[in-house]
Amino acid sequence: MRRRFWLVAAVVLFALAAAFMLYGQDDGGQETPEVEVELPRRMRETEKQRLQGRRTLPALPPTEEGQPPPRPRDPLLAALPQGRGRTAVVLEANALRHSPVGELLLTCVNGRGRRGLDEVKAKAGVDPLQDFDRIVVTPDGMMVSGHFGEARWDELFRDGHRQSYGEKGQIFEQPPRRNVLPNGQTRESRRAVLGVWDNQLVVFGEDAAQVKQALDRVEGRAEGGDPVIREEQTFGEIYGVLSTDDLLRIVPDVQPQLVEQFRRAGAQMELHVDARSDVGVVARVTGTDAQQLEDLGKTLGGALALGRLQAQQQGDERLASLLELARVDPRGDSFNLELALPLAFLEKQLAGCREGVDGGDSENGSAASGDP
């Protein structure tokens, strides 16, 4: 269940975009202003520069004679599981934290949530809001890149085991613990395994072998293979790929026909979210059955058209305007599902949350006051 939670967390912004657009709340009759939301369809120049700056690993030797010399590698991408048809989603945590959308979401963190962030900083010596650069979630575990020179891993794993691994790696293992529940019963916690590489990459898992395999890939001890996320796919503030099985887990169960169409098409998704200001989402859907994939695209396009028509007939201009910014774009052997959320709309939706947090903070004193 925990693994599925992290996967759902990774695509929550995508799911929220669809949910807001189809089932948005009342905003007092105010119309959403017409805006042009930029959609992430290709790599921007700043992202190309970001990509080049992250190539800090030496290139691996060519596998065949006569091949062009390979490029240096990004440690985080090198650590990811290899092989097509897998799932991995990357959140550019630092960029999201300092975006207008990130600031809006932080205002909805209540006093308890803020105290939790402070506790992580106090115990681990790591500030998630400042030290995290990227977060990767997969069905098998989680990885974080950033700055961890001040981290106190030994204190967190004082009852566990530590070992050096490879050239720059360390492995920390915490054995399962028995916790006594309020009803007197006991429950054994999961084994915690943490891999740290060069104080800039952290790999979380429950299996030491998987964590070691990730560090092996970084340091070039593992055999090469197809990367689950290629360099040219690293654009947007959220990006990644979803396998057929994991994609089916986020399709609403209330649409069994749609779930079956996704399954028959063998649909997989490449996801990109631009969250610099307005939120633009492009989900490129491919599949193993071209005809089923074409039918799936038509079904989704028809659902959006029907939603727009119903919103217009019911006089819901706000929802109709939002659905005008959602469409299915056929691309031959694939199609793009494109969604957009203007920042003004998000500000209205989160206004009540922000007011509630402010009110709760004032009642609980100053524990949650100040900048996060």
pLDDT more than 90, % of the chain: 40
Phi, psi of 171 (to 5 degrees): -120, 130
pTM: 0.82
Cβ-based neighbour number of residue 367 at 10 Å = 12
pLDDT(82) > 80: yes
Mean pLDDT confidence for 28-44: 69
Q: Which two tokens stand for residue 119?
A: 């506790």
Whether the Cβ atoms of residue 336 and residue 283 lie closer than 8 Å to each other:
yes
Angle at 225 between CA 223 and CA 228, to 5 degrees: 130
- What is the rounded distance in angstroms from the CA atom of residue 272 to the CA atom of residue 90? 10
For residues 171-200, give the mean pLDDT.
Answer: 83
Query: If you average pLDDT over residues 131-151, what whole number do you get?
Result: 93
pLDDT of residue 320: 76
State the pLDDT at residue 252.
65
Residues of the chain with pLDDT > 70, as a percent, come to: 80
Mean pLDDT on 307-323: 80
Band of residue 60 on the pLDDT scale cut at 50, 70, 90: confident
- Res 169: pLDDT: 97
- The C-alpha atoms of residue 102 and residue 238 are separated, in whole angstroms, by 12
| Structure confidence by residue, pLDDT tens digits, 86-119 | 899 999 999 998 998 888 878 777 656 677 778 8
